[in-house]
Amino acid sequence: MIESKVHIFKFEELKVWQKAVIFAENVIKIIDEIDTPRKHFRLVEQLESASTSVAMNIAEGKGRQTTKEFLITYETQPILWA
């Protein structure tokens, strides 16, 4: 049985991660400017959570031990590589 090679790189160097962080920062800046009634607070929390999830998922995927495991992490997220 052949084991996959360990994929060594810094996820911070990935353009997609860098763009995801910039996107999240922009969304959070906009959210901070929103003056919303309490009934919409959960929606604002969801926007913040969704905007940061891409960068966090990439960082989590970097924790995978092999190239194969790393690539499997992103098979369900093809939009990241478009």
Query: Is 71 among the domain residues?
Result: yes
Number of domains in the chain: 1
* pLDDT of res. 53: 92
CB 3 within 8 A of CB 66: yes
Query: Is 25 among the domain residues?
Result: yes
| Per-residue pLDDT tens digits for 10-20 | 888 889 889 99
Query: Is 32 among the domain residues?
Result: yes
d(CA 22, CA 31): 14
What does the buried/exposed string (b/e) look like for 46-77 if buried means 16 or more CB atoms within 10 Å of the residue's CB? eeeeebbebbebbeebbebeeeeebeebbeee
Query: Is 5 among the domain residues?
Result: no
pLDDT greater at residue 41 or residue 4: 41
Q: Which domain holds residue 25?
A: 11-81
| Per-residue pLDDT tens digits for 38-65 | 778 888 889 999 999 989 888 877 766 6
Residue 67: pLDDT over 70: no
Residue 82: pLDDT over 50: no
Q: What is the pTM of this model?
A: 0.64
